[in-house]
Amino acid sequence: MINDIMNFLNIEDKDIIITKILTDGNIKEVHLEKSLKAEYCPACSSRMYSKGKYFRKINHPILQDGYQLILIVTQRKWRCTNPQCNLYFNDQFNFISKYKQSSNITPYMILNEMKKYTCYYC
């Protein structure tokens, strides 16, 4: 079922996991993050270490049948362990930029799909 959600959100990033789905009244919150793996610096190839996380809330632009979809995306902050380098970056999610560019048809389809899952989470 998680894979179905990934599919209809059009998520192609391979290492994304859905940690939980909450239904609160007419709001469905889908929590996403990248699975934790070793990151290496693109500049000097040293190990990166995680400086913590921050949360990004993406409100779905379209309401349908009273349901609102909210994506809560956890992004990790990374810093290079090499003091000469100190490169810094955050997790990137390809689907988010794609999501923003999606046509009006896609969100409509997403919410139709979401209805199927209502009973599993109520």
Stretch that binds Zn ion, among 7-15, 53-61, 81-89, 105-113 (CB under 5 A): 81-89
| Interface with Zn ion, residue 109, by CB under 5 A | no
Please give, one letter per residue, the 3-state secondary structure of the chain.
Answer: CHHHHHHHCCCCCCCEEEEEEEEECCEEEEEEEECCCCCECCCCCCEEEEEEEEEEEEECCCCECCEEEEEEEEEEEEEECCCCCCCEEECCCHHHHHHHHCCCHHHHHHHHHHHHHHHHHC
| Interface with Zn ion, residue 40, by CB under 5 A | no
- For Zn ion, which residue of 23, 68, 74, 82 counts as binding (CB under 5 A)? 82
Nearer Cβ to Zn ion, position 41 or 71? 41
Interacting residue ranges for Zn ion, rule: CB under 5 A:
41, 43-44, 46, 80, 82, 85, 87
